[in-house]
Structure 1
Amino acid sequence: MSDLFVQWIAPARRRRVADTLALALPPLLAATAIGWRFFGPIAATAAALLGIGIALLIARQRAALHDLPWLVRSLDAARPDLEDSSALLFGGDAPLSRLQSLQRRRIAARLDQGGPQDLVPPWSTRTLLILGLTAAALIAAALLWPRAGEGPPALAPSSEGLPARPGIPRLVAQNLRILPTAYTGLPVRDSATLDARVPQGSRLEWTLRFDPQATAPRLLMLGGQPLALRRDGANWIASRTADAAFLYRVDPAAGRGPTPPLHRIDAVADAPPQVKALTDSLTLVRPGQHGWSPAFAATDDYGVATTARLRVTLAIGEGENVSFSEREIPVGGTGPARDRRFAPRLDFASFGFAAGGDMVVQLIIRDNRSPSPQEARGPSLILRWPSPKQPESSGLTGMVNTTLPAYFRSQRQIIIDIEKLLKQRRALAPDRYLARSAAIGGDQQILRGRYSQFLGGESEGQPELPTSDAEAHSDNDGHDHGPPPSSPNVFGEKEDVLAEFGHPHDESPASSLDPETRAILKQAVDEMWQSERELKTGHPDAALPFAYRALRFIKEVQQATRIFLSRVGPELPPIDAGRRMTGKREGLASRQLELTPVERQDGPAAAAWRALGAGPDAIWGPINLGPLDAWVRANTARLPDALALSGVIDAVRRDPACASCRAKLRAQLWTAMERPLGQPARRRPADGPGTRYLRAIGGGGS
């Protein structure tokens, strides 16, 4: 009987599900259209999925109403020949009396005279028609209803403040529509004023109305080509892209009326993304650790890309016998687009990372700018796996103090650092680039001072470890090296440093090198000095050849077969005792340095500043401001506010007699000009005893 029940109930249930989905379709389409129109495709998709889910749930509940009681009631009402006994047909295997069995056989033969389709409920035609018409009206209203930034804008009253003159058109209503580029994710907005601050690359649309009606209005760009307006009914429309900041004014009457005020558009450039490390810069591997998850935070004003690149550098080995390998892997971020988190999991086995090595990671991200996304590189994080042969450091400070000097202060490592800095030049800011170069120059200075000790010079730095430029020396080379030292080497002692590249044969601190080795070492020190000078002045590319030559001379000293030391001290030039305390100045050159004028580029600004003042160079009439305009355009990058300065220049040009305009321009020029350098102080005049002394040594007597 269960099969018979399913056979009679299935058509009704299918009709109820189809009817429910048909009734849900019009509201679902209306909700999707409204969501897409006013909230975007994401909202439309969410509304569609939610509507489908609700419709399926309701259809299932309505289909479940067609159960056994419903079937019995429907058959008894539709089939009088069943004599209200249809329940006997679907009673299952329950035992029946003799009379019930007889009645069941009688109506079973009559059941085949009809079919399950007789019990299918009708379609909800009227309800479906009402819902369809309502949904069509809602969809049409949603499509025709203007969104923010679409359709004709509502004009605001003009704020030009110009007096009305008969027959002269003037601006009476205005609107500025700002359409940011798609990658910013910012909505379209309307501004009631003609001054705005917009993202760079946004499209600007002006809608203006004049009274009386203008004939050929224009937008006059200060320092650029005018922009013509096109008529659209009673309004005038113009558009352009804000690639850079500019000043403009609305000219409705082709210069026949009063001069309209200037308006300003500031184009805000897309800032590059920023990366910040959330993990310590130096981390030691813990016992039992098999992986590492360095964490970074990436932020951007308009959003960071969902994927980034992680540069992984492995350094395996000790001293200068270090092998490097580098690879980049893609990583994914989590969180909102403007503040993403990157925490990739790095497995030691997959990278071949083992004890005695360093793993350096650097995150490279991009923003969502289109086209040409901007790229930024985060700080480098170091994971150090101490070698089992070396004692472990108790903390970060001790590790840095004992390891980094030996790593960074060899001539070969200085060359490596210079080449690395040159590769990163385009990605670094000028001040950061100069600071990195100066830091390498400081390392070069310490190394130069170390080698200068053997040439009679003083040590200029206080490094803690010797360099690794020198090669080890064997015990079977035929020379007596004396007993092993009882205490560790102390940096700064000439004998200890010299032992790295030669054989000390004397313990005297006044010992010197043989002339040939001394000459080679002096050439190395001279090249180091040249390299240091270029590095500290921010020219690592010029310092690289000097650094290479210094390394070559150091290697020549290392390859010397023997270095002899003598017990004599430095030979100083003899002192002429007959000339001492005599006051004779023959043969002495003048030490006075000639002062040369400093070349400055603020000539037009300084001339205009003097002309606007009250001094002897003041000009009370019209001033030639053409050179000043050219100076502003040439120095836009370094001026604090070039647009404001251009606006004041335009005001003075149009009204030379405006005292407030002249004063404002003079104040702007004072802040824009380069600050003057400090003048050399004059020497104080000699007093009485000093005058007599100078006269005596000059041969003038007392």
Structure 2
Amino acid sequence: MTAAALISRWTGPARRRGLLNDALLFAPIVLALSVLAWRLAGLPVGAAVLAVGVLVGLIVAWRRAARFDRPWLVGKLDGSRRDMEDSSELLFADPGTLGDLQTLQRQRLFDRLETGSPDALAADWRRRPIIAAWAVALVVIAGALLWPRGEDRPVVLSPAAESLPAVAGVPRLVGQNLRIIPPAYTGLPMRDEPRLDVRAPQGSRLEWTLRFEPEATVPALVTLGGAKMALRRSGDVWVASRVLDASFLYRVDAAAGRGPVPPLHRVDAIPDAPPSIRVVSPTESLSHVTEGQRTWTPVFAVTDDYGVAANARLRITLAMGEGENITFTEREIALTGSGSARDRRFSQRLDFAALGFGPGGDLVVQLIARDNRSPGPQEVRGPSLILRWPSANQAEGSGLEGMVTTTLPAYFRSQRQIIIDAEALVARQGRLSADDYSQRSFVIGGDQALLRARYSQFLGGETEGEPQLPTSEAGAQHTDDDGHDHGPRQAAPTFGVVEDVLAEFGHPHDDSPAASLDPETRELLRQAVDEMWQSEVQLKQGRPDLALPHANRALNFIKEVQRATRIFLQRVGPKLPPIDPTRRMTGEREGIASRRLPLAPVEAGDGPVAAAWRALGQGPEAVRGPVVLDALERWIGANGDRLPDALALSGAVDAVRRDPDCASCRQRLRALLWTAMERPTGDLVRRRPADDAGARYLGALEGGG
């Protein structure tokens, strides 16, 4: 017999006995927990607990069964049988490696082993722990099943209030009750409503209990759209249930269309509002670091109608540096709130040294919180708070005619990112297809074009196209159609005036708000834009590896510009057209354009509403008999989200359709249609006529005395 067969034969009974002991001990625990979960949280949760318990039990049983192996068998044989003479290990030894005495002893052990039974190695039944576990589990299960829940409370029917006339042989509703079981996460208790018109949280379970006289055969709850909810019989009452996912109108049809039409009932679903985040401290969205400050503690308040999750996340964004040397780091830390479930406070003490926050940086925090809706909690992001640490190099100002600002605006920060993106794309070239590689390179080229256009603003917009070589050829001369305004030329030069010299021999390009640059800075910017152009060309042709040298040179030129100390910006006022003094106070209006604004008709989308409103009125378009309401119902279905009360309007339409001669129904529908129509825009109001004093004044102006 092989060693494996010997181990399997002698460990089999012990393994089976151990599995049965574990199963009998673990099963009552899982069963009791499953019943408790079912009674407390419903059947789905109970089934989930049972499935998890069975899975955990199987894993534990498999791991415990693995202990019945060769060392266990050797130890068990040596400990329980004296005839093995502590030599059971020889049963599994290789005969070729044994001596004569060992071989003789091994044969004796096999002979003695046949006199015993494998069942003798099995452990005893764990009777006391098993009996105790089952006793406790049965008590827990009985208590869970017998403990009264809100849903098990007996239903007390209220008299029906539909006021329908009694018809012989036709069932009618005489008793009613509507039980509302809100979702567990709301914490709201179950309640019974004697009326069939209710408001309940969205996701609640609605349970109708109805009684009819005489006894109905196939009653149903019919929604306004035509869908039916079947009622099932339970003793002398009829019951139905559904989950409230949206508001709806319905009627109780007790006689399957026979007899008078029952009135409509309304159920409104109250949606769960998302949590609201309010900043408690600081009071301003932008704060500055004070002298000696080393920590910052923002405080947020989160409120919700049913409850805020105990944990939230604080997103921290740190921006350090200036110009092209900006670095961004982002992290999220978990926060635990304090206070009641519906109004929690979240705060965190932020240490500047631990975050790496220093002069010249911005620290931006934003709270991300959730409510306790289940399933699908709602997540919201609060307002961002900025803590700014001003650097030593601040913008300066003086009483000069110009302003002083830093060299470049803060949004010129993307050239380095273009280089990073291009390098990453080159590194992934082997893992991308040729088309994907070219497409991504083209996208980076578009970013390079946008950045080049921004820097071109500092040069008067001249470098928007392909850069021109600084030559004196005829093609480089300025013409009247070169794409920008040259300004009016002076009739004659004036000695010593720079503007006149420019008007005589060229044209000024220093009209942009940020173009008052010294010649060295302008030249550096021009070279940077030229390199950006070459980088853009290579990127859009799918060659990012050839674009990187140009992009890096552009970045170097930009850094040189940043080392400039300051730029003086000219202060420019508005350019108004000149005033002709000869026409003042003359009353001449030749050449003056009309200031009357054109009036365009408003395109309204409530045609079916207006048509139904006119048909229900007393005008020439009124309809005395039945009104065609199909188009109006389709319009309500398409525009229900923007209507003030779509259910009320649908109910009024149904009332008019069923009783066209009901004057009060027609009047109510017409009133609701008026509120549903779009409000007209404000019209132009004609100027009121002049009174006596005004007429005398106008007459005096016209020379009438």
Task: With the length of structure 2 as denominator, give the TM-score of the two structures.
Answer: 0.52
Q: 1:163 to 1:350 in 2, by over 3 A?
A: same
* Distance of 2:576 and 2:638 partners within structure 1: 59
Q: Flag the 1:283–1:622 CA change in 2: closer, same or farther, 3 A.
A: same
Q: 1:149–1:189: 8 Å Cα contact kept in structure 2?
A: no
Structure 1 residue 182: deviation in Å? 2.9
Aligned equivalents of 1:573, 1:283: Cα separation in 2: 46
Q: Return the letter of the residue paired with 1:228.
A: A
Task: Give 2:330's match in structure 1, choosing from 298, 321, 326.
Answer: 326
Kindly indicate whether the alpha-carbon contact (under 8 Å) linking 1:37 and 1:143 is maintained by their aligned counterparts in 2. Answer: no
- 1:414-456 per-position Cα deviation (integer Å, ceiling 9, x unaligned): 999xxxxxxxxxxxxxxxxxxxxxxxxxxxxxxx9xx99x99x
Question: Does 2:341 correspond to 1:337?
Answer: yes
Secondary structure of the corresponding residue to residue 281 of structure 2: coil
Give the superposition deviation at 1:683: 7.8
Q: 1:659 aligns with which of 632, 641, 663?
A: 663
Pair 1:299 & 2:303 matched: yes
Residue type matched to 2:219 in 1? P
Deviation readout 1:452-491 (Å, 9 max, x if unpaired)? 9x99xxxxxxxxxxxxxxxxxxxxxxxxxxxxxxxxxxxx
2:355 match: 351
CA distance in 2, matches of 1:408, 1:649: 67
Aligned to 1:90: none
| Residue 679 of structure 2 corresponds to residue 675 of structure 1 | yes
1:303, 1:367 within 8 Å by CA — same for their partners in 2?
Answer: yes
Counterpart of 1:630, as a letter, is R
Report the equivalent of 2:202.
200
Q: Which residue of 1 aligns with 2:163?
A: 161
Structure 1 residues 258 and 572: CA distance shift in structure 2, 3 A? closer
Query: Aligned-pair distance for 1:408?
Result: 13
Call closer, same or farther: CA 1:272–1:582 in 2, change over 3 Å: closer
Counterpart of 2:616 in structure 1 is: 612
- Is the contact made by 2:324 and 2:413 (CA closer than 8 Å) also made in structure 1? no
- Measured in 2, the distance between the counterparts of 1:149 and 1:214 equals 26
State the Cα distance separating 1:170 from its structure 2 match: 0.5
Residue 684 of structure 1 and its aligned partner are, at CA, apart by 8.6
Matched with 2:255 is: 253
Paired residues of 2:324 and 2:412 also in contact (CA < 8 A): no
Alpha carbons of structure 1 residues 257 and 352: separation in structure 2 relative to 1, 3 Å: same
Residue 509 of structure 2 corresponds to which residue in structure 1? 517
Amino acid at match of 1:364: I
Pair 1:606–1:391, CA change in 2 (3 A): closer
Structure 1 counterpart of 2:243: 241
Aligned to 2:280: 278
Q: Deviations over 1:376-412 (max 9, x none)?
A: 11122233334467699xxxxxxxxxxxx99999976
- The equivalent of 1:174 in structure 2 is 176
**Alignment partner of 2:609: what SS?**
helix
Deviation of 1:323 after TM superposition, in Å, equals 3.6
Q: 5+ residue gaps in structure 1?
A: 1-31, 42-132, 393-404, 417-447, 456-504, 524-554, 695-702
CA distance in 2, matches of 1:285, 1:519: 38
Question: What SS is found at the alignment partner of 1:342?
Answer: strand
Deviation of 1:571 (Å): 12
1:110-259 to 2 correspondences below 5 Å: 143-144=145-146, 146-150=148-152, 153-259=155-261
AA of the residue aligned to 2:176: Q
Q: 1:142 to 1:363 in 2, by over 3 A?
A: closer
Aligned length: 434
Distance 2:311 2:575 in 1: 65
> Quick check: 1:379 aligned with 2:383?
yes
| 2-structure distance, mates of 1:385, 1:646 | 59
Q: 2:366 maps to which residue?
A: 362
**Distance in 1, Cα, partners of 2:503 & 2:650:** 68
Preserved contact between residue 408 and residue 414 of structure 1 (Cα < 8 Å) = no
- By how many angstroms is 1:507 displaced? 9.9
Distance in 2 of aligned mates of 1:283 and 1:571? 40
1:494 corresponds in structure 2 to none
Report the equivalent of 2:625.
621
After alignment, is 350-359 or 278-287 more displaced? 278-287
Amino acid at match of 1:185: G
The equivalent of 2:634 in structure 1 is 630
5 Å matches for 1:567-646? 594-646=598-650
User: Structure 1's 247 and 593: CA in aligned 2 closer, same or farther, altered over 3 A?
Assistant: same
Q: Which range moves more in the overlay, 512-521 or 667-676?
A: 512-521
**Contact preservation (8 Å) 2:395, 2:404:** no
Contact 2:209 2:240 survives alignment (8 Å): yes
- Where does residue 648 of structure 1 map in the other structure? 652
Q: What is aligned with 1:485?
A: none
- Give the AA of the match of 2:643: L
Distance of aligned partners of 1:303 and 1:254 in 2 relative to their CA distance in 1, 3 Å threshold: same
Displacement of 1:372 in angstroms is: 2.4
1:25 is matched with none
- Residue type matched to 1:248 in 2? Y
- Give the superposed CA RMSD: 5.1
Cα-to-partner distance string for 1:251-280 (whole Å, 9 max, x where unaligned): 101221112111111111110111111101
**Alpha carbons of 1:160 and 1:141: their partners in 2 closer, same or farther (altered >3 Å)?**
farther
Give deviations 1:676-695, integer Å, cap 9, x for gaps: 1233345899999999x99x
- Structure 2 distance, partners of 1:406, 1:577, is 42
Q: Is the 8 A contact 2:322 2:410 kept in 1?
A: no
1:222, distance to aligned residue in structure 2 (A) = 0.9
CA–CA separation in structure 1 for the residues paired with 2:197 and 2:216? 22
State the match for 1:266 in structure 2.
268
2:280/2:299 contact within 8 Å kept: yes
How many Å separate the matches in 2 of 1:40 and 1:243? 19
**Residue-by-residue CA offset, 1:483-530 (whole Å, 9 max, x unaligned):** xxxxxxxxxxxxxxxxxxxxxx98999x9997362687799xxxxxxx
Under a length normalisation based on structure 1, what TM-score does the superposition of the two structures give?
0.52
| C-alpha distance in 2 between matches for 1:138 and 1:371 | 29
Aligned to 1:490: none
Aligned pairs (5 A) from 1:10-159? 143-144=145-146, 146-150=148-152, 153-159=155-161
Task: Check the 8 A contact 1:312/1:362 in 2, yes or no.
Answer: yes
Tell me, yes or no, if the aligned pair for 1:319 and 1:407 is still in contact at 8 Å.
no
What is the CA–CA distance in structure 2 between the aligned matches of 1:270 and 1:571, rounded to whole Å? 56
CA shift digits 1:41-72 (9 cap, x unpaired):
9xxxxxxxxxxxxxxxxxxxxxxxxxxxxxxx
Contact 2:249 2:266 in 1 (8 A): yes
AA of the residue aligned to 2:232: R
Distance 1:571 1:327, change over 3 A: closer
Kindly, what percent of the aligned residue pairs are identical? 56
| Residue aligned with 2:255, SS | coil
**Does structure 2 conserve the Cα–Cα contact (< 8 Å) formed by 1:37 and 1:142?**
no
Q: Which residue of 2 aligns with 1:88?
A: none
1:343-384 C-alpha deviation (Å, 9 max, x unpaired) = 122222221112343322111111122232211111222333
CA shift for structure 1 position 594: 4.6
SS of corresponding position for 1:652: helix
